[in-house]
């Protein structure tokens, strides 16, 4: 596997051998969920690039940025073992050179006003812009992201449409631990006690799937919030939304795609997850 820190060197290399290129953007601290994305890309593309870049513009909390786990050597070893062809680990100055700006002003509202967007102002603008910028540098045909960050995938799809980038977004299933906890780089910050309660986020989502559509949406939400609270989590939201628009579903109305999304704190670690209720 090649490791590039500079985009010009990477682009020269890719220009010489480009055929079908798959791209997996990450912030590092890799786990099996990321590796599944790389494997997915390897099945569909001749060449696979994985970026490792902790993007400062998507952190609304400076403390979260500071504490975000960074394990570059381990990440490189994991990617090489998985068969990834190239790791791109740019510096902040390379991703955001002076004067760089988006070619179009993105219209992310109302997708970015709900759920994560409500609790993390500015987060999705940062995500959409960094993904655009990385695509500009890597120029892949396919982009691979995980369903765990469901709202992020919907917003990135909107960004792709608005910028007319010829990139196909592939969304892969969430990879889970044996007890159901969605894999996340943040999980390594959980204490043993917090790790015990963390899977209740997924259990609350499964309970919602069991109850939908027998009960009214607000009743399901109330039960899910209570389940998380009684387990020792501090839930932030539990929303049942139209999977296309991300707007809350109304009782009795018909939807072809419904997703339950939740965020909760286990101690100082913020967890998010979602399950599809109907598609
Ligand atoms: O999901 C992530 O790890 C990040 O939001 C992403 C897509 C790599 C952009 O920084």
Residue 158 CB–ligand 1 contact under 6 Å: no
Task: Write down which residue in 141, 172, 203 finishes a domain.
Answer: 172
In this structure, the answer to whether residues 206 and 143 fall within a common structural domain is: no
CA of 113 to the centre of ligand 1 (A): 18
- 129 and 232 housed in the same domain: no
Residue 60: inside a domain? yes
- 184 touches ligand 1 (CB under 6 Å): no
Ligand 1 atom showing the smallest separation from residue 55 Cα: 10
Is 279 part of any domain? no
- The answer as to whether 201 is a domain residue is yes
Q: 230 by DSSP, 3-state: which? A: helix
Residue 52 Cα, ligand 1 centroid: separation in angstroms? Answer: 9
- Total domains in the fold of the chain: 2
Mark residue 196 as left, alpha or beta (left: phi above 0; alpha: psi -120 to 50; beta: remaining): alpha
160 and 61, same structural domain?
yes
Whether the predicted pLDDT of 252 surpasses 80: no
Q: What is the mean predicted confidence (pLDDT) over 227-246?
A: 98
In this structure, what CATH number is given to the domain that contains residue 231? 3.30.1300.10
Q: Which of 172, 203, 232 is the last residue of a domain?
A: 172
Q: What is the pLDDT of residues 121-142, one digit of tens each?
A: 999 999 999 999 999 999 999 9
233, 130: one domain: no
Residues 231 and 94 in one domain: no
179 in any annotated domain:
no
Residue of 58, 128, 151 to mutate, ligand 1, most atoms within 8 A of C-beta: 58
> Model confidence over 185-220: pLDDT tens digits?
999 999 999 999 999 999 999 999 999 989 999 999
Domain containing residue 102: CATH number: 3.40.50.620
Residue with tokens 């997915």: 40
Helix ranges restricted to H, the chain: 7-17, 32-44, 62-67, 72-82, 92-95, 116-119, 123-138, 150-163, 192-197, 200-211, 217-231
Print the domain residue range for 28: 2-172
Asked if 43 and 104 sit in the same domain, the reply is yes
Identify whether residues 141 and 78 lie together within a single domain: yes
Residues 45 and 159 in one domain: yes
Q: Hey, what are 131's tokens?
A: 């993904």
Are residues 192 and 99 both part of a single domain? no
Binning pLDDT at 50, 70 and 90, where does residue 16 land?
Answer: confident
Question: What pLDDT sits at residue 18?
Answer: 64
| Burial (0-12, 13-18, 19+ Cβ within 10 Å), 72 | middle
Are both 199 and 136 inside the same structural domain? no
Q: Are residues 208 and 154 in the same domain?
A: no
């Amino acid at each position: 596997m090649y490791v590039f820190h500079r985009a010009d060197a990477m682009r020269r290399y890719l220009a010489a051998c480009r055929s079908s290129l798959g791209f997996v953007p990450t912030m590092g601290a890799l786990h099996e969920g990321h590796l599944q994305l790389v494997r997915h890309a390897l099945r569909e593309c001749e060449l696979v690039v994985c970026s490792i870049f902790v993007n400062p513009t998507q952190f609304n909390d400076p403390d979260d940025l500071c504490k975000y786990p960074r394990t570059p050597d381990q990440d490189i070893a994991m990617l090489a073992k998985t068969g990834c062809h190239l790791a791109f680990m740019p510096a902040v100055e390379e991703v955001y050179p002076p004067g760089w700006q988006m070619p179009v002003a993105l219209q992310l509202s109302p997708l970015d006003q709900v759920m994560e967007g409500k609790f993390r102002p500015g987060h999705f603008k940062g995500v959409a812009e960094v993904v655009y910028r990385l695509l500009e540098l890597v120029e892949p045909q396919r982009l691979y992201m995980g369903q765990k960050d469901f709202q992020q995938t919907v917003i990135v799809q909107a960004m792709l449409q608005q910028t007319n980038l010829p990139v196909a977004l592939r969304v892969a299933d969430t990879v889970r631990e044996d007890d159901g906890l969605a894999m996340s780089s943040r999980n390594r910050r959980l204490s043993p006690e917090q790790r015990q309660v963390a899977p209740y986020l997924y259990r609350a989502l499964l309970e919602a799937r069991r109850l939908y559509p027998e009960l009214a949406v607000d009743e399901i939400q109330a039960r899910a919030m209570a389940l998380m609270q009684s387990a020792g989590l501090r839930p932030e939201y539990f929303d049942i939304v139209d999977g296309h628009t991300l707007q809350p579903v109304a009782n009795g109305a018909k939807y072809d795609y419904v997703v339950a999304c939740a965020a909760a704190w286990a101690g100082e670690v913020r967890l998010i997850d979602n399950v599809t209720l109907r598609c």
